[in-house]
Amino acid sequence: MSSENNKILTTDGIPLEESLKVAEKKNKIKAFLLVAPLLLFLLITYIIPIGGMFSRSIDDKLTTNMLPKTYKAMEKWDGKELPSEEIFEAFYLDYKILVKNKTVGKLQTQLNLEKNGFKSALKKLARKQKKFKVGNYKEQIMSSHKRFENVEYWRAIKRRAPPITYSKYLKAMDMYLDEDNKIVQVEEDRRMHRILWLRTLEIAFFVTLFCFVMAYPIAHLLATIPMKYSNLLLICVLLPFWTSLLVRTASWMILLQQQGLLNDFFVWIGLFTNENRPQMMYNKTGTYVAMTQILLPFMVLPLYSVMKTISPSLMRAGKSLGATPTVAFFKVYFPLTIPGIGAGCLLVFILAIGYYITPELVGGASGKLISNQIAYHMKSSLDWSFASAMGLMLLTGVLAIYWLYNKLVGVDNIKLG
């Protein structure tokens, strides 16, 4: 018997296997078409912007294109001593065109980001170069500003030669590449980003902790009292959740300020004297208080929905088997709520780590987070590539936490409801 005869045929003579394939293919296309809008949505709103951010954070074509002659002349320069006349001339020729076209501002800004103090030298050169004579450009440029006599500034130009760079990522960690291509740390008194990263982690951690400590009893109460009361309480939890973020932050400002309601109350009950009112705003305390209150519902709701499903008879069974209420709670009830705790903590932590508006308004100088620094570079210094690099680092951090959580607890255990 040949193998062909073994195949089962459908009524119209096509082998069953093939006809099944055709049918499945149709189903697959249908299924794909059904998810296509969502896929497209994710692609447009998530993948493409993140890709754009990434390419912006490493793109360094701007300076490369602005100083073509200089970079060509610099190819052979080893960066040890001051460059030769040839390089100075090339730089002068490039720079002249930029001044004429009024595009010089961008180069000044970029080079100043690379080496602090470059801008004023370049601006002076822009004014003085109009009177330059032909020949001996090295001397003329160096006499326009003494910073051009410093080889550091020429190295800074050379560092910007490659069209792709990862220096922004180093800068976000307070490090940079020196002329020997070694990664070195910036001076101690200029390390600001590490302070901000650590502060962000610290505040996100403690806000999560405070939220957990406060939300657990609330959620337990909500899950155990009769429906008619629990609905009312749930509305109390949700009402602030539905109120605008700005309104809530502003009301905290009214409560916490020096002559605010809370301080007035403390003075009235005699906790503090009128002269020694505690600072509760424009510092870390303000950030902690306002962020904890704002993020509390994100902890209460997952906890509540998990606790709601735990049968009260389990605790009773524990107790009837001889456990004290404390033991029964820790051995029976608490382990069952872990999926809710995981969901709530992850949610609050991730939201807290990228928080912006509340620290901006109530944080003062000591309550600022990394997101405020990102906003500063987006809005004020206009170093968008640096802002993109820090944004991506934040995203990577969140993904790392998610991965860690998955390893330790398991994502399958998360329950949002």
Partner 1 sequence: MKKISKLLLALTFAFSLSSSAFAVTVASWGGAYTESQKLGYGDPTAKALGIDINWVDYSGGLSEIKAQKEAGAITWDIIDLYGHNVINGCDEGIFVEFDFDKDFPPAPDGTPASEDFFTDMPSECAVGNILYSWNYAYNSDLLKSSPKTIKDFFNTQRFPGKRGIYGTAYTNLEIALAADGVKMGKGGKFVYKKLEEEGYVDRAIAKIKKLCDDPKGGCVFWSAGAKPPELLMSGEVVMSTGWNGRFFNAAVGEGAPIVQVWDGQGLDYEYFALVKGGPDEANAKKALAMMTSTEMLAGSAKYIAYAPWRKSSIAVMEAGEPWYKDGKTNMVPHMPTAPANLKKYFLVDAEYWADNGEEIGEKWEVMKASVK
In our burial notation (b when 16+ CB lie closer than 10 A, e otherwise), range 50-73 reads eeebeebbbebebbbebbebbbeb
For residue 164, the one-letter residue type is I
Hey, which residues between 194 and 213 contact partner 1 (CB under 8 A)?
A: 195-196
Closer Cβ to partner 1, 112 or 305, answer by number:
112
Hey, which residues between 10 and 29 contact partner 1 (CB under 8 A)?
A: none
Binding mask 175-194 for partner 1 (x = CB under 8 A): --------------xx-x--
Q: How many CB atoms lie within 10 A of CB 95?
A: 21
371 contacts 204 by C-beta, under 8 angstroms: no
**CA trace torsion 332, 333, 339, 343 (10° rounding):** -150
Helix (H) or strand (E) holding 10: none
Residues 6+ apart with CB under 8 A from 378: 384, 387
Told to check if 5 binds partner 1 by CB under 8 A, we report: no
How do 183-185 and 175-177 pair as beta strands? Answer: antiparallel
We find the least distance from the C-beta atom of residue 408 to partner 1, in angstroms, to be 32
**What is the gyration radius of the CA atoms in the chain, in angstroms?**
32
Q: Any idea what DSSP says for residue 149?
A: G
We find the least distance from the C-beta atom of residue 101 to partner 1, in angstroms, to be 8
Separation CA 156–CA 70 (nearest Å): 13
Stretch that binds partner 1, among 69-77, 118-126, 175-183, 393-401 (CB under 8 A): 118-126
Residues 6+ apart with CB under 8 A from 273: 267
We find the least distance from the C-beta atom of residue 326 to partner 1, in angstroms, to be 41
Closer Cβ to partner 1, 221 or 267, answer by number:
267
Told to check if 102 binds partner 1 by CB under 8 A, we report: yes
We find the least distance from the C-beta atom of residue 368 to partner 1, in angstroms, to be 7
Closer Cβ to partner 1, 103 or 224, answer by number:
103
For residue 223, the one-letter residue type is A
Closer Cβ to partner 1, 89 or 114, answer by number:
114
Which member of 3, 5, 116, 273 binds partner 1 (CB under 8 A)? 116
Which member of 56, 96, 119, 319 binds partner 1 (CB under 8 A)? 119
Helix (H) or strand (E) holding 361: helix 357-362
We find the least distance from the C-beta atom of residue 257 to partner 1, in angstroms, to be 5
Give all strands (DSSP E) within 18-128, no chain letters.
none
147 contacts 118 by C-beta, under 8 angstroms: yes
Hey, which residues between 265 and 294 contact partner 1 (CB under 8 A)?
A: 279, 281-282
Closer Cβ to partner 1, 185 or 258, answer by number:
258
Told to check if 308 binds partner 1 by CB under 8 A, we report: no
Closer Cβ to partner 1, 130 or 133, answer by number:
130
Separation CA 93–CA 80 (nearest Å): 23
Stretch that binds partner 1, among 4-12, 13-21, 346-354, 362-370 (CB under 8 A): 362-370
365 contacts 195 by C-beta, under 8 angstroms: no
Told to check if 368 binds partner 1 by CB under 8 A, we report: yes
Hey, which residues between 234 and 263 contact partner 1 (CB under 8 A)?
A: 257-260
We find the least distance from the C-beta atom of residue 279 to partner 1, in angstroms, to be 7
Told to check if 373 binds partner 1 by CB under 8 A, we report: yes
Binding site for partner 1 (CB under 8 A): 102-106, 109, 112, 116-120, 123-124, 126, 189-190, 192, 195-196, 257-260, 279, 281-282, 364-366, 368, 373, 376, 379-382
